[in-house]
Structure 1
Amino acid sequence: MLIAEADIRTERPSRYLEELREHSIEVCGHIPHRPHPHHDGTAPPQIRNVEWTDTGGTIDLVEGRCTLQAGPDSLTLRVEAADRDSLQRIQRLVTGRMQKIGKRDALQVTWRQADADHPHRARNRLLNRRQPDGLKGRFLPSLSRDAE
């Protein structure tokens, strides 16, 4: 499994998390046989499942997974995929969306390779970030095409 991570510094990480949540739910809800192409002519990602809390989320794609976590002053992204092409495609999609929604704040997404020897270390760091007590364990319902 190949892994890449990015920490996006911003004063409004929750706002961007919410915008990514709304976008992924919209993409997930598109009719599977008539997806809308992106502006560059590529097909949108095939999303299998999305799950969200008030401070994080996971987007499961056919090609891999993107995990997001909003901290006090940053939004942390983690992308996992089985091969380099899939990893780079997911990175491009997430980077493009972040640059589009963060245009006013000139958000910068800089990816780094995560520790491949310990794939759960970064995930555990994301999951163990301090959350306000009232938000721990609160999940929104999962959206899945498989459930249809």
Structure 2
Amino acid sequence: MKTAICYYSRHHGNTRKVLEAMAGEGDVALIDVTTRQAVRLEGYDCVGFASGIYFGTFQNAVLQFARQYLPEGKAVFFVSTYGMFRPGYTKAIRQIAGEKNCPVLGEFGCKGFDTYGPFKLVGGIAKGHPDQRDLENARSFYQNLRLTHDRGA
């Protein structure tokens, strides 16, 4: 399965670490949405969107990228890293996918070291994440996604 994962990863590189683990499991192109390059996603079997969570949602650059480049009807999945889990992190990116009639294959999220805002005062939260277990879970998620897609489900 030829996959593109369009991502934003800054601060501690949490999201990039997770994506590199996934990329080791197949034909995966990692596309940094901040590089300002024109992108053609039509040639991929599926497209992932990945980001750390900022104020309860994906980073705005990822959302704008999806609005601009996501082809109609393309299968998608979502990856996020966060200091602490709360439901609804993928709501905005799911809405964009829905507007483009894109089937959602799944989503993966895990903790990531977070020192944003007030968390910096206490030395951050989710220290040590993503850890090896998180990375193994990310690999398993992508392997299962690939198997499901290859079976035509």
**Shorter-chain TM-score above 0.5:** no
TM-score by length of 2: 0.28
Tell me the TM-score normalized by structure 1: 0.28
State the structure with bigger RCO (CA 8 A, min sep 6), 1 or 2.
1
